[in-house]
Amino acid sequence: MVFLRSYLLLLIALSLSSLWGAQPVLAGSSGETHPLFVTLSTTLTSPKGFIPAQIRHAYGFDRLSCSFTKPWGSPALCGAGQTIAIVDAFDDPVIESDLATFDNQFGIPVCTTTNGCFTKATPQGMPKQSGTGASTTRDWAIEMSLDVEWAHAIAPGAKIVLVESLNNKNDPMFSAVSYAASLPGVHQVSMSWGSVETSSETGFDTVFQVPGVSFIASIGDSGNVVQSPGSSPWVVGVGGTSLILDNASNVISETAWSNSGGGISAYESEPPYQQNYGISSNSFRATPDVSYDADFSQSSPGFSVFDSLGAIGATGWFRVSGTSAGAPQWSALLAIVNSGRAIPVSSTSFGTDSLLYEAATGPAYATNYRDITMGTDGSCGSVCNAGPGYDFITGLGSPKANTIIPFLQGTD
């Protein structure tokens, strides 16, 4: 009976997703970016997807010496002293209260404007409310909830700055990224959005060359498709996996997610950290660099996210998946890294990616990463199969946080 009930819930979720789900959308000549998540959920009164404790255990965060439960402001909290900037489009007027509901549900230290943990910035003026007017705004409220809630869940000691772009056009989005990177104390900028590559994308690369700041982007949810800004050599591109856990949150398996973006850029040159690593990509940038859980299925339930705005026709707890989940959580991982470094890792001179590839070199590889060796996106033959070492679906693999964080803290 339990299996039957679960199966029926999945069927209901899949049916409703055709009406409400944020399916992957690719931008063409419009110059628009789109959130890179898929939501497959009905209105729920309690969390049903993966919760923070499960993900922390699966990826080894709970084996770090820092805390996830001490009161806000404690220097013992994971990510203490850091600031994560999250860039999204349009406005979510209830994001702070949604974050409070999420935190209260999972025992995470409160993060508010009052205590100085949370800030919402609108440098281009107040955007249109997400979920109103044009259909292009509908999905961004869910995206903001996913980004803010899960960045805080993994690095609860870090401040969160949500930078809202006036709209989802390329120019204001990248302007918002520049603004985010210029803010005092920001060393991590998360970007869970993108658009298909165009020849003009290299013109935005200077945006990511900011001393002391790392840029992290989802790579896409449409199979073997390369998307910007994750294709920039100065950005950490995050691909997707399918994570299956047992009842104790131990990893049963982690395989390549069939919808994960990735492949070889048509415009960006191969950076030195990939040349040195021996990746064969015809002198062009290969994507992604790393990966994280992105699947939604009967055995891999997606991430629990609370959203009360009702931007896609429902409110409450959602199960959200996609590579959007990986960018804020890798940003949180780097915030924890930087909390233990005198000099923060930086995307300038390809520094952040160089360190991530260094962490996958020689014996360090098996210690720092879970190498994803199984799975395919099924769209382009053997090049899109996961395998030992680097591949075009999962990059170097997913993090073993309890070992890769100390490794990155100990490198220059």
- Residue 5 has a pLDDT of 32
Residue with tokens 């693999």, as numbered in its chain? 397
Model pLDDT, residue 14:
31
Compute how many other C-beta atoms are within 10 angstroms of the C-beta atom of residue 139: 29
Please tell me the predicted confidence (pLDDT) of residue 161.
Answer: 98
Per-residue pLDDT of 319-375, as tens digits, reads 999 999 999 999 999 999 999 999 999 999 999 999 999 999 999 999 999 999 998
> For the segment 18-69, what is each residue's pLDDT rounded down to a tens digit?
223 333 333 333 488 888 887 666 667 899 899 999 999 999 999 999 999 9
Write out pLDDT tens, residues 134-158.
656 778 999 999 999 999 999 999 9
All structural domains of the chain with their residue ranges: 2-409
Residue 62 in 3-state DSSP? helix
Nearest-angstrom CA–CA distance, 317 and 319 = 7
Which of these, 350, 335, 318, lies nearest to 401 by C-alpha position?
335
Of residues 312 and 77, the one with the higher pLDDT is 77
CA distance 35 to 26: 10
Q: Looking at residue 45, what is its pLDDT?
A: 87
DSSP string, 158-196: SEEEEEEESSSBHHHHHHHHHHHHHSTTEEEEEE-EEEE
The set of residues, in sequence order, having a beta carbon less than 8 Å from that of 232 and lying 6+ positions away, is 201, 204, 205, 208, 215, 217, 268, 285
For 239, the token pair is 């691909």
In the chain, what percentage of residues exceed pLDDT 70? 89
Residue 206 token pair: 């200077």
Q: Is residue 293 over pLDDT 90?
A: yes
Superfamily of domain 2-409, CATH level 4? Peptidase S8/S53 domain (3.40.50.200)
Q: Over the chain, what is the mean pLDDT?
A: 89
Angle between helical axes of 140-154 and 95-106 (0-180°, round to 10): 40
